[in-house]
Each structure stands twice: as structure tokens, then as C-alpha cells.
Chains A and B, each alone.
Chain A
């Protein structure tokens, strides 16, 4: 699938913000399932945003500005060609020991309720890890309702699980926390999804999990959709959780209340002409 992505992130500050600094994880890398044909990250301010790499192997752009800003827009656009690998990830350089993905983070803690849920799926019967991960995928997808109204970016797995509600970020955190509890290295992936129902305009990026299966490697599990990622998925960044894979992490001094607006269009170029809304 040839996928075109146009992604505008606009920050408007109530009063001019000073010392704005951001790290962007908005640039995908090519792997055996996706070829980045074209990619461009632009800022509407006059600052260089040098390209780098973080500990997880993600492409980063980092910038600092000392000029007061009343608004800031980050525009990302590109084309990625994807192929269905049935969720199997290959052709990716792994800079870290897989065991680091067994640690609990603030967003992926467990409580007794979640442990009971995870242990219930693991059950007494010994199954292979891949089957277990698929069972966990099905159970999480079935038990936790997709709902954009009840959680926010800081909601932890425990909080979302207690509500049995959340967005793709929450569902992914729950899945990761349970997998780690069962001794399986698991990590967070942020990316984009072509909606096959034809919706090009989207409210937010997508997220899913990857878990390690010996002999096969990292395998994707899209908990929000209850499937493995396919050619509709563009993998952008990975990390322990939302925070370490976040598309934008920033800090600023002053600026008052921040108003964030996101315009995202993800389209299968074979299906339709790209709709641009500006």
C-alpha cells in the first residue's frame, strides 16, 4: 500500500512562550514491511532542528528557541510504501537488550485486578508464547472498550483498566503491562493507520504494542483493532510506553494555557486522491 501522511501539530500560546524546547519523534524508518519513500519535517520558526537518534533507535529532531513564540506549527508530510508482514517486524536495528522491555514504568504499572486478568489468560495450561499473546490481544480487545472521552495522555494502564475504557494508547499500555507481567518483553509503538472505512481525516495518531517471541522476533499487536498490524500500519517510533515514544516532548517557560490542534490525514494513494484541507 502506498500511504500518504500529512500531519500538522499546531501550538497556540495564550501569552508568548519563552525557551521552547522540543524533541520530535515523527519520522519513520524503513524496515522490511515499510519503505519510507519521502519524508519531511518542517517548523514555522527560524530554528534548525538537527536530526538524531534516541536510545530506542527512533529518529529524533530536537530544537530550542530563545525567541518568544505565540504559536508554533510542526508540519510532517511523507509517503510510505507498506507490505503486509502479518505483524512480524524485521529489518530493524535493535540497539537495546530485549530485557529492558520487561521493566514496569509509571504508565505501565500493574494492580491485583490486572494481574488476575493476565494470569487468567495465561491459565494453567502451558501454551506457546505466540498463542498466549494472541489470547491476550483478543481478551484485552474484548474487555476494554475503545472510548475517546474517559482518559487522557497521562492515564496509566491501571487507571484505564479500572475503567475498562480508553483510547489506543491506554489499550496498548494495558497490553504491554500484562505481557511484561507474564515475563514477555513488550513495548509501545506510535504510528499511523489507514482506515479502511475511508476516513482520511483523523483526530490523532495510532498506537499498538510489540512483543518478543523467541525465534520470530518482535511481533505487533494492535489492541484497539484486535489484529496484528498489516499494510495499513506505518510504524514511526517505539519505547517503553507512550512517554518514551511520544511524537512530541517539549518544555517551555511561560506561555500560559496552551491550545493544541492536530490535523492529520492518512490516505491510501491507490484508493483516492489525497485530500488536503488547506
Chain B
């Protein structure tokens, strides 16, 4: 099946290689430039990224390697009209997710009403019973989310997954824009492109807005990182730097007198908001994993006392479980009373025997994912898998059906991308970043466009060799 192309639309939509209107100006400019010019710019781009030092450590390889995520200089462009619809959908989804989480840790109305089966919530390993006693400050569970969207047609955007734990990639969105502005200032003069640089200001405002009600004066926020060995450490330090807040590890924080303090050269300083980039399991060895050496002992007791805010709230992971995802249309209707604006991919829950039977029969056409997986690991892309891979996966699936969901293989849209042989269409997705604070919801125009660099590949994850592009929302 031919994929929708971001620049050229559906197959043969325009005569003589003309592009969609939104790409018109870019196409003219690109046609006028020489291949040598682009080669030079691509080398420059790589140099910029090396100098910035933006790297991503790839797990699962023998030698821990840090490498650049490939950057493609052809931007992905959305029209203002397209974006406004996406933005409304994202805000609706963020509100529904927060209402859902408040409900499942509180009265459980959506379970009583049969919107979602109890077992998917209560038996979910991400359901943190501790949160039944702790209403998060200002009722926000998911302050920062990165929703993965894919496009299959002119008006068809699907949500692929909600990343409600600690979504990463926002530093690439910001760096990509900076590099593009340095490389192609003339393009920014010829287009009116919505800025993304405001993200970090918005993030800091969001963090401060959810400070405990007891916080005095200007709340102190920190970024809590597992340390330099984490794959996203660059992003942690980048965000702390841009916000002008401290980047801390667990050992820099301690609990005393029911407050969290950080050690500084000028003595202890109280911390009000912790933007943590470590998983729930490692937050507090007194409550979660006792062997965690990267958390803060006693953190949860201060949190329960309402004297510190943890961002995102512990237990938010239930919302990005892939089996819960399949109930999102019902969850949105139940909590907002509206029809979902963004589409949800039809999902077979392998926990249901009928679905499992269907999935096993149709493995070559489906994408099968672990309900708790991320990073594109542990998934099967039926159409590109070998017979042996499919057979091995079928055995895995039969062994633990509740651990998997399956979806039809979507024809992800493509976007022209520079590869060895020149420009060629490659599949892309889009991860916009949504901030939810006590002061409202902020969505940065655009987001991170990820591109699968291998021809025909649908796996865009950076950990699997995907690249990124700058994403433009035109101010039209």
C-alpha cells in the first residue's frame, strides 16, 4: 500500500510533482538549491550536533555506546489548521488522562460504570496503591506527556501511545530547531514558523504552578536524574540548564523534618517540586524497590504530607499501559462528555481469547506490542518479520497472552528524507509534548518528528536507529 506523503500527499494527488500547499515554499527553495549545497549543510548539521554533545546511549548493546541521533535537514511541516485540530485533541486527551487517574486512585467511578475492566487497573503493576492515600497537588498526575501520533491520510491522525511516565525527546525538538535556524536562516525568513523555544519556560511555569500549597515564596524546582549512565542524561542536564534549576541525583537530596532538601555549597535548601526522570520503582527505597540506590529515602512520606510535588506523579504509568490505551475512546467520552478528537488505533487485546485467536491467525499483517514495553523493543512488525520470527513470537504470545496487544499495521505517512542515494520518502511519526499545570494546559506547536531511516521500516524509535527532523507549524 502506498503511504501518504507529507510533501506530496496521497498517490498522484498533484500533477507534475507539485507538492501540498503547505510545502510549496520549501519545495521551490529546495528545487533551486544544488546537491552540493545540501551535502555541505548536512555535514555542518552533524558538526553542530557533535559540538553540542547531544547524544543518546543505546542500551542492550555489548559496549555501551553513546551516539548522535541522525538528524535530517528536510523539515516536517504542519499547517496551522492541521495543528489546531491536533492541539484540541491533545488537550482533550491530557484532561481525560488526568481525570482517569484521579478516579482510579479515588472513587473508581469508571470501573463501577464498566468503562474499563477492574483487572486492567488493579492488577496493573503500574497501579501504585500508595497513591490511593495521596491526592497529587492540584489534581494533576500527568504534568508532562509525549503522545505519539501517526498520520495515514490527509485528515487521519491516530494516537499510537500516550507516554505518561517520563517521556523523552523534547531536547531533540529544541536542538533540532536551533540547528535548523543556524543552517537555513533564509528559510525561516520565508516562512512564519511557530516558535518552540518557549517550551522550557512553559515547563518551569508548569512545575512552579504545581508546587505544594505550603511552599513559601518562589518555589524551588529540581530535575532528578538517575545519573550520567542513563540514556537520556543529556536531556536531563539540558532541561535543568535551560530552566536554570539544579540537576540533582538522589544522593543530593535528603529528607528531614518532613521536607525534602538538597545539599548545596551554601547548606541545605528546601525543594518544592521534583521533576524526576527516574521510574516509580526507584523513587523511594522505603516504599518501592528496596535496592534502589538512586532514589530518596522518605520521599514518599514527604509527598504524602503535601510538602513536595513529584512530577509526573507516581502511578501515572497506568495511563500509558497499552491495554488501557485500547479503552481510551471510552475513557475520553466518560470523563469529558465529548467525542474523541484524535483517533485510536483499533486494538486486539490478546487477553481476550477471541482476539488472541484472531491475532495468532493474522500475525503476518499485524503489529504486536508488549503492554508494558517501550522503545520499540519486544514488538513484532508482522509484514516485515521473517517466518521464523513470527513463529517464535507466536510461541511467546501463547505463553503470556495478557502481556500483549495487537494492532493493524498502519501505513505511516512518509516525508522526503536525505539518504545515501539522495532524497527518498521515509516513514515518520510525531511526538508533541503537552504540559499540564495548575495554570492550564500548554502544547508546544509541533513536537519531535521521528523518522525510520531504513527503507520501508516502520520503527522510528531512536533506540532502534531512527532519526529526527525539525517540525514546523506554519502560522497561517
Contact = CB atoms under 8 A, between A and B. Distances in A.
B286 A96 contact: no
B254 A23 contact: no
Interface residues of B, number: 25
B125 interface: yes
Contacts of B212: none
Given A54-B130, A95-B132, A99-B118, A249 B286 contact: yes
A19 B254 contact: yes
Contacts of B108: 97
B21 interface: no
Nearest to A102: B123
Interface in A61-83: 62, 64, 66
B236 to A, nearest CB: 23
Contacts of A102: 119, 122-123
A66 B108 CA distance: 40
Given A55-B129, A100-B123, A250 B118 contact: no
Nearest to B292: A251
A52 interface: yes
A53 interface: yes
Nearest to B134: A55
A99 B123 contact: yes
Nearest to B118: A99
A184 to B, nearest CB: 13
Contacts of B124: 103
Nearest to A106: B289
Contacts of A56: 129
Contacts of A55: 129-133
A121 interface: no
Contacts of A66: 254, 256
A243 interface: yes
Contacts of B298: 21, 62, 64
Interface in A12-38: 19, 21-23
A37 to B, nearest CB: 28
A54 B286 CA distance: 12
Interface in B96-118: 108, 111, 118
A19 B254 CA distance: 8
A249 B287 CA distance: 8
B428 to A, nearest CB: 38
B244 interface: no
In the A-B complex, the 3 residue pairs with the smallest Cβ-Cβ separation, listed nearest first, are A99-B122, A55-B129, A251-B297
5 contacts: A19-B254, A53-B133, A62-B298, A103-B125, A250-B286
Given A52-B301, A62-B286, 8 more contacts: A19-B297, A55-B131, A55-B133, A56-B129, A64-B256, A100-B129, A251-B286, A251-B290
Interface of A: 19, 21-23, 52-56, 62, 64, 66, 95-97, 99-100, 102-103, 243, 249-251
